[in-house]
Amino acid sequence: MFHTEYLKFHTKSHREYIHITPQVETIVKKSGVKEGIVLVSAMHITAGVYVNDNESGLIEDIDEWLEGLAPFRKDYKHHETGEDNGDSHLKALLIHHEVTLPITAGKLDLGTWQRIFYAEFDGQRDKRVIVKVMGE
């Protein structure tokens, strides 16, 4: 059995981290899948999906870490194409664009502190995340 839905985002900020576990849990429940997996994937090359703790200090640490590794600056080669989001592409590579998670007994089978996040690095425009539930 397969079930697909899309989450839509239009962030107010250029960079934003959005907790999406409740939305994914709702989609898993709606799918009727009891045993399987769910793929959660950003459909953009300047965004990502990751699993970590939903703790505000940690989210700030992640943002600072990413900005340190891939800071906004004007001299990226990518900017020679007329774009200005070279750092957003690099940040997305560091986070990665998708996660695959287990479903057991009809529910997401996450660890105690594991939560799913959508990471936006080039926001303030329409973006999507695909949630594809697979199993039986």
Instruction: Count helices and strands (H / E) in the chain.
Output: 3, 8
User: What CATH number has the domain bearing residue 62?
Assistant: 2.60.120.460
Q: What is the mean pLDDT of the chain?
A: 97
**pTM of this prediction?**
0.95
DSSP class of residue 74 equals T
Instruction: Render pLDDT for 74-115 as a digit per residue (tens, 0 to 9).
Output: 999 999 999 999 999 999 999 999 999 999 999 999 999 999
Question: What is the count of structural domains for the chain?
Answer: 1
The number of beta carbons lying within 10 Å of the beta carbon of residue 12 is 8
| Beta carbons of 134 and 33 less than 8 angstroms apart | yes
Query: What's the pLDDT score for residue 101?
Result: 98
Average pLDDT (59-88) is 95
Percentage helix, strand, coil for the chain under 3-state DSSP, each rounded to 5: 30, 35, 35
- What values do phi and psi take at 99, rounded to 5? -135, 150
The number of beta carbons lying within 10 Å of the beta carbon of residue 122 is 21
Q: Domain range holding 82?
A: 2-135
Percentage of the chain modeled with pLDDT above 90: 100
